[in-house]
């Protein structure tokens, strides 16, 4: 008899929440992680006197104890809410396009509307109408989950707009291209330009960040990963770090166990994989056990962007270099489609970067008198993978230098205050996450890849997925995906017990 009911592969957000939830519901669970820390993207690392947040910029869906969001409920169920301290941000973001716009939007519907109306008076009424649409659309969207009879008559906005692209809807409402850029600023959080981003995704991002407020965790996302791991261990789960899973064993269409990178076979009837579906179906399971249709499904999706990320420690407070917002998007004014095309270039032309300074909302994010900054410029891995090894460092520092120039233009004096800097390319993300293409949100988040069309279940019995490759990327979706994978496994385990 096996020691474990379930083996969870990978301790990223999806794997951790799946493992913790499984152990808390009584499943004998083993968590395998190839890295030496829990979290995947949701982790931190040290350089000099700084502890750098790897991934979390603005947490969505948390809300407050008084007004809990869906993520609050997930974390509450895992028992980690009281172990975490989080900081609510007052503002959504500052968008700066030098020479065109410099605007900061509050995380408040009315304040957002009035700021936009002051900057774009010619479109005053349309701005109010657009926010009405976003809110009404989202309320209809949420009610479709409770209403199996939902149809175009009782949910007209949902059925009309859900799959329209964001640009089409913005064009329906507005004429000013800069206003459209301001309203679609969050497209960078999905990695899909407004011309291809569903209105549903865009509307929900805006609604959720305004209503539940963007947040940040004290101690960074590592605090969250560590808290979930502790609850998992307290519930009797077993975790092994520096222990990758190499193979998933399948017999007669059913999972029978996992083989670790050290060659140990661990029998189990259920596996939840936080490793990508691509890795699982093309490398971890022998091909004769993978139904042909599964390869067809994989072939219909494309690997999403990774990131060129700068982790910077400044030897001064943010105000010394003019940073007074936590979340800053800096663009060149280029059409988002051109920006998206530039994701495939190593060079940082036409780019659109996110600069987060955690100290603005949490002065303790780095030692007193310093600032912790993360700069994210989305990039696909291909050109980096094609680069001859001897050119890697030269290119990496050349593009980092260009990004710094762009930042310096908005925050003069920034460069001379750099005390620590680490540059991560898509190759770095591949190395640390073992994700194909170093993709930070899994597959490209095009509408066709949505869970609405591709069910996350595996055709192999006993195999489940959690994390970005099983649906959407980002903190809230991946943390929630682990809970739903655990729920499905527990249902099967209980049904087995009854037999
Ligand atoms: C620079 C950056 C900025 C980001 N900014 C944001 C943001 O502001 N907001 C937001 O919501 N999201 C953001 N994201 C995205 C978000 O962090 C990810 O989408 C999410 O954390 C992915 O979670 P996951 O569950 O898919 O697992 P991952 O984080 O991908 O972790 C998977 C884990 O599985 C392990 N693993 C893989 N293969 C094996 C194996 N064979 N055996 C054992 N272990 C294995 C890996 O080592 C890893 O620990 C960002 C990501 C990055 C990198």
Average pLDDT over residues 268-289: 97
Write the pLDDT tens digit of every residue in 185-230.
999 999 999 999 999 999 999 999 999 999 999 999 999 999 999 9
- Is 275 a pocket residue for ligand 1 (Cβ < 6 Å)? yes
Mean pLDDT of the chain: 95
pLDDT(159) > 80: yes
* Residue 1 binned pLDDT confidence (cut-offs 50, 70, 90): low
* Residue 485 binned pLDDT confidence (cut-offs 50, 70, 90): very high
Average pLDDT over residues 137-160: 90
The predicted pLDDT at position 66 comes to 82
Question: Hunting for tokens 């917002």 — which residue is that?
Answer: 325
The predicted pLDDT at position 2 comes to 77
Burial class (CB in 10 A: 0-12, 13-18, 19+), 389: exposed
Among 362, 388, 376, CA closest to 329: 376
Give the full edge-to-edge strand order of the sheet including 327-331.
Answer: 101-106, 91-97, 327-331, 352-357, 371-379, 306-314, 418-424
Residue nearest ligand 1's atom 42 by CA: 244
pLDDT(412) > 90: yes
- Is 280 a pocket residue for ligand 1 (Cβ < 6 Å)? no
The predicted pLDDT at position 348 comes to 80
pLDDT(486) > 80: yes
User: How far does residue 438's CA lie from ligand 1's centre (Å)?
Assistant: 9
Position in ligand 1 atom list of the atom nearest CA 38:
49
Average pLDDT over residues 40-53: 98
Higher pLDDT: 333 or 405? It is 405
Check: CB of residue 36 under 8 Å from CB of residue 241.
yes
* Residue 453 binned pLDDT confidence (cut-offs 50, 70, 90): low
Give the full edge-to-edge strand order of the sheet including 270-273.
Answer: 238-240, 29-32, 6-9, 270-273, 463-465
pLDDT(110) > 90: yes
The predicted pLDDT at position 451 comes to 61
Q: Which of 7, 9, 12, when mutated, tests ligand 1's pocket best, judged by the most ligand atoms within 8 Å of its CB? A: 12
Average pLDDT over residues 92-117: 97
Average pLDDT over residues 448-461: 75
Average pLDDT over residues 386-401: 96
Average pLDDT over residues 473-498: 93
The predicted pLDDT at position 362 comes to 95
* 464 beta partners: 272
What percentage of the chain exceeds 70 in pLDDT? 98
The predicted pLDDT at position 97 comes to 95
Average pLDDT over residues 156-171: 95
First to last CA, the chain: 18
Q: Which of 30, 40, 245, 378, when mutated, tests ligand 1's pocket best, judged by the most ligand atoms within 8 Å of its CB? A: 40
Write the pLDDT tens digit of every residue in 436-447.
999 999 999 888
- Is 9 a pocket residue for ligand 1 (Cβ < 6 Å)? yes
- Is 326 a pocket residue for ligand 1 (Cβ < 6 Å)? no
Average pLDDT over residues 23-43: 98
- Is 375 a pocket residue for ligand 1 (Cβ < 6 Å)? no
* Residue 81 binned pLDDT confidence (cut-offs 50, 70, 90): very high
Beta-carbon contacts of 26 under 8 Å, excluding residues fewer than 6 positions away, are none
Phi then psi for 471, rounded to 5 degrees?
175, -115
The predicted pLDDT at position 497 comes to 78
User: How far does residue 230's CA lie from ligand 1's centre (Å)?
Assistant: 19
* Residue 150 binned pLDDT confidence (cut-offs 50, 70, 90): confident
- Is 245 a pocket residue for ligand 1 (Cβ < 6 Å)? yes
Average pLDDT over residues 398-425: 97
The least confident of 141-150, 312-321, 323-332, 423-432 is 141-150
Residue nearest ligand 1's atom 52 by CA: 55
3-state DSSP helix/strand/coil percent for the chain, to nearest 5? Answer: 45, 20, 35
The predicted pLDDT at position 452 comes to 63
* Residue 350 binned pLDDT confidence (cut-offs 50, 70, 90): confident
pLDDT(124) > 90: yes
Burial class (CB in 10 A: 0-12, 13-18, 19+), 408: middle
The predicted pLDDT at position 455 comes to 64
- Is 474 a pocket residue for ligand 1 (Cβ < 6 Å)? yes
pTM for the model stands at 0.96
């Amino acid at each position: 008899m096996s020691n474990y009911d379930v083996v969870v592969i990978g301790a990223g957000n999806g794997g951790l929440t799946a493992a913790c939830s499984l152990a808390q519901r009584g499943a004998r669970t083993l968590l395998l992680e190839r890295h030496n820390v829990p979290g995947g993207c949701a982790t931190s690392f040290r350089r000099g006197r700084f502890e750098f947040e790897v991934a979390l910029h603005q947490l969505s869906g948390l809300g407050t104890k008084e007004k809990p969001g869906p993520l609050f409920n997930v974390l509450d169920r895992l028992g980690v809410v009281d172990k975490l301290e989080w900081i609510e941000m007052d503002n959504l973001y500052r968008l700066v396009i030098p020479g065109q716009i410099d605007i900061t939007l509050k995380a408040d519907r009315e304040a957002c509307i009035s700021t936009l109306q002051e900057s774009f008076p010619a479109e005053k009424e349309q701005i109010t109408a657009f926010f009405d649409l976003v809110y009404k659309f989202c309320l209809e969207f949420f009610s479709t989950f409770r209403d199996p009879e939902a149809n175009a008559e009782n949910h007209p906005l949902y059925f009309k707009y859900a799959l329209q692209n964001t640009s089409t809807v913005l064009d329906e409402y507005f004429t000013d291209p800069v206003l459209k850029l301001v309203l679609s600023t969050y497209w960078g959080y999905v990695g899909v330009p407004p011309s291809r981003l569903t209105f549903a995704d865009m509307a929900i991002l805006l609604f959720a960040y305004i209503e539940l407020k963007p947040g940040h965790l004290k101690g960074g996302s590592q605090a969250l990963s560590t808290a979930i791991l502790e609850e998992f261990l307290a519930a009797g789960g077993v975790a092994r770090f520096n222990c990758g899973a190499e193979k998933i064993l399948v017999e007669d269409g059913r999972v029978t166990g996992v083989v670790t990178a050290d060659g140990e076979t661990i029998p189990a009837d259920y596996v939840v994989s936080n490793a990508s579906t691509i890795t699982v179906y093309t490398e971890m399971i022998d091909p004769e056990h993978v139904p042909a249709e599964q390869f067809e499904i994989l072939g219909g999706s494309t690997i999403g962007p990774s990131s060129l990320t700068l982790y910077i420690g400044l030897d001064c407070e943010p105000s010394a270099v003019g940073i007074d917002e936590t979340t800053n998007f800096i663009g060149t004014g280029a059409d988002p489609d051109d920006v998206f095309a530039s994701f495939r270039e190593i060079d940082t032309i036409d780019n659109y970067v996110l600069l987060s300074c955690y100290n603005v909302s949490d002065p303790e994010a780095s030692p007193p008198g310093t600032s912790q900054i993360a700069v994210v410029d989305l990039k696909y891995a291909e050109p980096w993978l094609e680069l001859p090894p001897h050119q890697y460092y030269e290119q990496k520092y050349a593009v980092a230098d260009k990004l710094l120039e762009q930042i310096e233009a908005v925050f003069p004096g920034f460069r001379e205050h750099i005390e620590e800097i680490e540059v991560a390319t898509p190759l770095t993300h591949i190395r640390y996450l073992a994700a194909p293409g170093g993709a930070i949100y899994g597959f490209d988040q095009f509408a066709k890849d949505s869970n609405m069309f591709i069910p996350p279940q595996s055709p192999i019995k006993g195999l489940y997925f959690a994390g970005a490759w099983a649906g959407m990327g980002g903190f809230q979706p991946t943390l929630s995906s682990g809970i739903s994978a655990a729920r499905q496994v527990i249902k099967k385990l209980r049904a087995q017990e009854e037999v």
